[in-house]
Amino acid sequence: MIRTCQLSYTYPGGPTLAFPDVEVAQGTVLLLSGPSGCGKSTWLSLAAALVAPTAGELVVADQSLGALKNIAADAWRARAIGFLPQKLHLSAALTVQQNLALAFWASGQPEDAARIDAALQALGVQHLARRTPAQLSGGQAQRVALARAVLLQPRVILADEPTASLDFEAAADAVRLLLDTARIQGATLVIATHDARVAALIPAKVDGQIGFQPLQLVRKQL
């Protein structure tokens, strides 16, 4: 579940971004859309407790984020949030398997090789476990990054521009992978995108439920 109330963020010496209120039920999809520069990535940073709100309230996965401070935020994020950033941030010096192991270290849990295997298998990239990121195609790297993001079964998955620079077929694939992964894990999924194709790639109804909830941001800076 995600709930925001009068949420805003001011970059030091930069713009103030004010966000419309939203409430997203657990296990559903939020499509965060709007033009480049409207604040989508900033909203994701707030939801992941990477930055603290300047004003307003934000509750993500039962945690009120205004109250979280540094170390607590890091521990909470490692457990509760699966972040698929636009730039994937796979460690170049590590293998795919070791990149996933990092998620265990970051959350203070012992490494579990069987769970790493299962996560890679679920995304069809188990055979790439011993490669380094430089030896992956773009699509393979995204699957690996998604496997790492959801390894610890986070309550919330945040994806930033997951279809950027992908052709239609690859974009459809990326969206389907995110939807399937979120559904299997019962996670709330937020897709931030300026790609108008994405809305059309999400089924209008899933199991009788509305396919996604839209949150349209506008480029309005104070």
**Interface contacts to Mg ion, rule CB under 5 A:** 40-41
Residue nearest to ligand ADP (CB): 14
Choose between 42 and 163: whose C-beta lies nearer to ligand ADP: 42
Contact residues: ligand ADP, CB under 6 A = 11, 14-15, 17, 36-42
133: DSSP letter: G
Q: For the purposes of burial, counting CB atoms within 10 Å of the CB of 112, is it exposed (0-12), middle (13-18) or buried (19 or more)?
A: middle
Closest to 84 in 3D by CA, of 3, 164, 25: 164
Choose between 45 and 63: whose C-beta lies nearer to Mg ion: 45
Task: Give min distance, CB of 40 to ligand ADP, in A.
Answer: 3
How far is Cα 218 from Cα 29, in angstroms, rounded to an integer? 20
Task: Give min distance, CB of 1 to Mg ion, in A.
Answer: 23
60 interacts with, out of ligand ADP, Mg ion, none, CB within 5 to 8 A per kind:
none
Inter-residue contact 192 to 44 (CB < 8 Å): yes
Please report, for residues 163, 167, 181, the alpha-carbon distance to residue 155 in angstroms, rounded to integers and kept in the order given. Answer: 22, 29, 12
70 interacts with, out of ligand ADP, Mg ion, none, CB within 5 to 8 A per kind:
none
Choose between 10 and 98: whose C-beta lies nearer to ligand ADP: 10
15 interacts with, out of Mg ion, ligand ADP, none, CB within 5 to 8 A per kind:
ligand ADP
- Reduced to 3 states (helix: H, G, I; strand: E, B; else coil), residue 201 is helix
Choose between 36 and 70: whose C-beta lies nearer to ligand ADP: 36
